[in-house]
Amino acid sequence: MKNRTNIKLPLTDNEKANLRKNKVKIANILDFATDELEVLLNATPERAKEIYALAEFQTAPSVGIKFAEDLVFLGYYSLQELKQKDGAKLTDEYEQKRGYWIDPCVEDQFRLIVNFANTNDTKKTWWDFTEERKKFRAENGYPKSRPQKAWFETLGYERKDNK
C-alpha cells in the first residue's frame, strides 16, 4: 500500500479539531470504519464515507486528492466498487457528467485506478497506461455523444503547448 503520509483531505476546521482531540492522524483515517469516522469527525454518514473514500483512493500510486475527488464526483466510494470497471468507460462517463472532454492523461489515471483495484500493484503509475489508451482510442475512438468543448476551454485554462 502507498505511503499513507501523503494523503491530503479537504477537512473542515472542525473536522481537523475533532481529529486532534481524538489523537487521530490523517495517515490513520483508513484504520477506522466509516461509522467510527462519523463519531471521530462529528460528521454525517455521507461525509464520513466521502472522507474514507478520498483517503482510500490516494493509496493508489500517482493518485492525489484531485483525482480522488473526481472518483467521488462519479459516485464511487471504494476501490472495491472500481474492480469490474473499464477505464475508457469511466472516462466517457466522467466527460458526460462534466460536460467537457478532459486531458487524455486523466483516462490513463482511470485505467490505473481500475488496475490497482484489481491487482493492488503499487509499481504501476498512470503513464504506464498511456500506450494502452492510445491503442484503444485509435481502434475505438470516442463516443458520438462526447462533449465538444475541452477542459481548457471550459475552465479558463491557458494552454502552454500552442495547440
- Residues sharing a CB contact under 8 Å with residue 10, sequence separation 6 or more, in sequence order: 54, 65, 69
Looking at the chain, the number of H-run helices and the number of E-run strands are 9, 0
Residues of the chain with pLDDT under 50: 1, 159, 161-163
The type of residue at 143 is P
Phi, psi of 145 (to 5 degrees): -80, 5
Among 11, 151, 8, smallest CA distance to 67 is for 8
pLDDT of residue 1: 47
SS3 content of the chain, % helix, strand, coil (to 5): 60, 0, 40
Q: Could you report the per-residue pLDDT of 8-55, keeping only the tens digit for each?
A: 999 999 999 999 999 999 999 999 999 999 999 999 999 999 999 999
- State the pLDDT at residue 154: 76
Cell of 34: 466509516
